[in-house]
Structure 1
Amino acid sequence: MRCVQRLPKRFGSTKLEGVPREENNNADALAKMGSKMDNMLLGQIGLGIQEIPSIPEVNVFQMQEIPQETWMSPIHNYIRAGTFPEDMLQARCLRYQAAKYVEYDGVLYKRGFNQPLL
């Protein structure tokens, strides 16, 4: 336990999160199996500190995303700016289709059953 408590000091920043058992079935099953075994049968689990990375460092290049027109673009433009095609039939279809989607932080999401219309 003391070794684990010292580890965060060696990193620039750390974030610890607890995961509920119902969301971590594999670890829960392993913990149950380990707690049911006899200590003599289970043996000791060794703990080692790895001083160097096990995989080589790779160069990472930052990519700039080029916006492309997709099937979502007219819906996104309609929700964002209220623009729609000049053809009345296409505009009507777009309004009905756009009602099924919502924009949040620049990303288009399909509405769920329990989401109210804005």
Structure 2
Amino acid sequence: MAKYLLKAKELFDEFEESSLIQVSRADNAIADQLAKIASSIAAVRNMRITILSSDRAAVEQYVQILCTNPPPTSWKEDIIRFLTDETTSENPKEARAMKVKAARFVMIEGVLYKRDFSKPFLKCLTPEKTTC
């Protein structure tokens, strides 16, 4: 910092007319950031840096995942249960919602179909039976 000040004074004296004002750090944030970067580069300049790269990971690690939870239930299981057994939730709001929802479906020979106004019944499939 002392060398910087000495150099600044030398250059300052070379001008015919000059003035010196202090700028607060808040108003000079960009210059402050540049000074920090420059000081970090100067420290690295004299060091030797070796960069190694590899196609493989240095430590090979295998992870085994066990599924302990049952598979998620299909959206249609609650509707099928309501249509076959008429079992509902203890909560009156949920029971009413299920009754309204199930009114749009019908069971024919153990298969769930959705009623539609102008089309034939639409067969309800599980996600496993659908293809993209």
Q: Give TM-score, length-normalised by structure 1.
A: 0.38
